[in-house]
Structure 1
Amino acid sequence: MIRRLLALATLFAALLAPATASAYWEYGHETIGRIAYLNVKPETRAAIDRLLSHSALLDTPTCPARTVAEASVWPDCIKKLGDRFSYAYSWHYQNVNICKPFNLKPACKDGNCVSAQIERDVRLLKDRKKVPLRERVQALAFLIHFVGDLHQPLHAADHGDLGGNKLKATYGIYSTPKLNLHMIWDGYLAERAITTPPSLVKRYPAAVRKKIAAGTVKDWSRQNWEVSRDIAYASAEGGDPCAKPEPKHVTLSNKTIAKLIPAARLQVERAGLRLAKLLDEALG
């Protein structure tokens, strides 16, 4: 009995340990990549496979990108390589203030934000003549990852707390000193949402793909900023997050978590189908 209790304690500790990924943890990014891969045109899928067959050009053997699933987490994996890719750290998010009118310019100075990099990666992939193969492979991996990042609401907006990184949180009955609201949306909530049936990884009807993928990267940025303000922060803080002082700690009850599952699922679905649209535009 004591051994079983110790084993359970170890398991819970592992589940609550902070991850090093920048946005959606591995399962979230891989799921978004798989949704996109199933929903692109056949010629786009072939082009993706051709590019990733040259992933060795990236010269990151500890961070492979041979498949869409591997490429989806490559931009987080390379953070461990230090100065080689340190220039890309700010490309994973955009701190757009939820308590001011939507404005990307302050958060995207010199293109150093996730939405600007998504647009840049599409341009690089389209240019088959001037852009070297290695750079196009890298742009593909970044694009797959960054569209996922943009749809993690706390990477699309900020409340003066680094997208919830400074806001301590309790998730159901679980809490550790390092657990914060950002981590919950990165991993615990996303993973629960993805594993809630039915599966999000499927071929979607053309009408659904068209409806969800409509708009521009800027439109999607605004929508995800709204989701951050009206759902992610509001549900955690019990109302309008801009109407009262910022809390130091929030608790997401089991009831609140259950209510957030549909919203979290929709964000993953949106990311996958919008990524498919961009890949078709760039490679189809």
Structure 2
Amino acid sequence: MIRPLPALIAAVALATTASPAAAYWEYGHQTVAQIAEANVRPRTRIAIRALLARSDLLATPECKAATMAEASVWADCIKPLKDTDGKSRFGYAYAWHYQNVSICRPFDLTAPCKDGNCVSAQITRDVTLLKNKRAPMKDRVEALAFLIHFVGDVHQPLHAGDKDDKGGNDAKADYGLYGPARLNLHSIWDGYLAERAISTRPTLIRRYPAAVRTALAAGSVTDWSRESWQISHDAAYGSVLSDPCAPTPARLKLDDATIAKLVPVARLEVERGGLRLAKLLDSALG
């Protein structure tokens, strides 16, 4: 179950925590997962629940994954987990959440996805693992949890394209009246903007008509990556810079008019993420 935050509470929380992306971490990923759950075939839903019923195999009691909503944030929850010797248990997966393709050069996944260390490559890997019924159960459960999360990640534009600024984390920015020192372009798209976009009516969590599902879920993982990269150029950076590739000023400003224009862009990305996740799950499990 998603626990929506009123905008003011979300703003305060984001301004006062060390990780201002927390709102998208829960709200965005859970919404993508719940859209997918509402739109997969019944047989797929049964298969998903059967796999997640074995989430104990992940051996991460601190990070639950027994439902799609829980699994949608599992990949973030496990980041700080340590082995008994103090080493990171899942450090190898840090780079799997994004693919920072420069918005100022032609789209190319070759370098960002070297050795499979990017979000789109991992989505493809997870689908392949889920299709393989001979793979160990633990591996398939882990692949499902990662897949649910990573499809959400690739539809957050600043996980798909940037200006060599860590996905906008180095680009300080103000959001309307809010301009805490820790706020940056990435945290705005992860937090403030995501919260407003998802909580704007009508609800995004519903069964979509077949024609809409087909249209929004069309294309391949590479197509979706390119689309998200383009949105990063046109909307994430283009909404605050007349030339998205011009040097970024010391502080960007998203005024109310800009925010209003970006809300439908952010909503559509969440819808696409949910319906495309449903498509992949049907392909792998349905």
**Alignment TM-score, normalising by the size of structure 2:** 0.92
Conserved? CA contact 1:24–1:148, under 8 Å: no
Letter paired with 1:209: R
What does residue 122 of structure 1 align with? 127
Summarize deviations over 1:210-242 as a string: whole Å, max 9, x none.
0111110000000000000001111122x2212
Q: 2:244 aligns with which of 230, 237, 241?
A: 241
User: Alpha-carbon deviation of 1:176?
Assistant: 1.3
Conserved? CA contact 1:39–1:203, under 8 Å: yes
**Alpha-carbon distance in 1 for matches of 2:22, 2:153:** 8
User: Alpha-carbon deviation of 1:20?
Assistant: 6.7
What does residue 143 of structure 2 align with? 139
Where is the helix percentage greater, Structure 1 or Structure 2?
1
Q: 1:227 aligns with which of 227, 231, 255?
A: 231
Summarize deviations over 1:178-211 as a string: whole Å, max 9, x none.
1100000011101100000000000000000001
Conserved? CA contact 1:169–1:252, under 8 Å: yes
Partner of 1:214, secondary structure, is: coil
What does residue 30 of structure 1 align with? 30
Conserved? CA contact 1:24–1:149, under 8 Å: no
What does residue 271 of structure 1 align with? 273
What does residue 42 of structure 2 align with? 42
The residue correspondences of 1:1-284 to structure 2 (distance < 5 A) are 13-18=12-17, 19=19, 24-82=24-82, 83-129=88-134, 131-237=135-241, 239-242=242-245, 244-284=246-286
Conserved? CA contact 1:121–1:143, under 8 Å: yes
Letter paired with 2:36: A
Conserved? CA contact 2:22–2:191, under 8 Å: no
Q: How many residues align?
A: 273
Conserved? CA contact 2:49–2:67, under 8 Å: yes
Letter paired with 1:136: R
Flag the 1:90–1:29 CA change in 2: closer, same or farther, 3 A: same
Letter paired with 1:125: L
User: Alpha-carbon deviation of 1:177?
Assistant: 1.3
Conserved? CA contact 2:165–2:171, under 8 Å: yes
Identity value in percent: 63
**Alpha-carbon distance in 1 for matches of 2:12, 2:158:** 24
Conserved? CA contact 1:172–1:252, under 8 Å: yes
**Alpha-carbon distance in 1 for matches of 2:277, 2:104:** 28
**Alignment TM-score, normalising by the size of structure 1:** 0.93
What does residue 3 of structure 1 align with? none
Summarize deviations over 1:150-197 as a string: whole Å, max 9, x none.
000000011111110000010111111111000000111011000000
